[in-house]
Amino acid sequence: MNRLLGVLLVGFICVLVSCGSPDEPSKKSKELPPPKKEIKKVTTTSKQNDKKPMSASTGASPAELAKAKEIIAGVTEKAIAAVDAKKKFKMFCTTCHGITGDLNVNGAKDLTQSKISLEESVAQIYHGKGLMTPFKGILNDEEIVAVSKYIVKLRK
Ligand code: HEC
């Protein structure tokens, strides 16, 4: 019997301590700040890519540029004109570049600020670069050249 009373008393005291102590909540809130700092660190690193200066070149290799020249030389004006470049751009490019070219998803370069040559555009689209997928085999030569000419119109 005494044992049961003891257990009950201990239980009662526990309830009193956990409900009645005014120190508990403030102690808990003092322990909270560190995780918040960690969250801030993550947001700053993810913003690092936002303001990269626009280079006037894609850094395509001489071999890639030579291939691009070959592609451009191999297509006729008529074949380029027959492509609905706006539609192709909407289908394959807007996920990262947006309809107006300045969406910049996945570190995609702002096409409205782009200053690259037709060869560089064709090389970039044909071979891809970084997170941009190569469109070799997805778009044919005249489609690549037509889209390269179309994106020049998005420039400001
Ligand atoms: C998966 C996302 C993605 C898609 C889809 C995409 N791009 Fe890109 N694009 C990028 C990224 C990322 C870069 C920057 C690559 C780098 O420099 O590392 C880029 C860069 C470019 C550049 C170079 C701009 C410059 O001035 O250097 C051109 C041109 C370009 N894209 C055109 C296109 C076209 C046209 C399409 C559709 C056929 C397309 N992109 C589809 C992600 C994408």
CA distances from 74 to 36, 85, 95, 99, 100 (A): 58, 18, 29, 28, 29
Pocket of ligand 1 contains residue 110 by CB under 6 Å: no
93 CB near ligand 1 (under 6 Å) = yes
pLDDT, averaged per 10 consecutive residues of the chain (156 residues), comes to 55 46 50 52 45 73 97 98 98 97 95 97 97 97 98 97
Structure tokens at 78: 């008529």
Nearest 5°: CA angle at 63, between 130 and 56? Answer: 55
Q: Which amino acid residue places its CA nearest to atom 8 of ligand 1?
A: 132
Read off the pLDDT of residues 71-94 as tens digits, 9 standing for 90 and up: 999 999 999 999 999 999 999 999
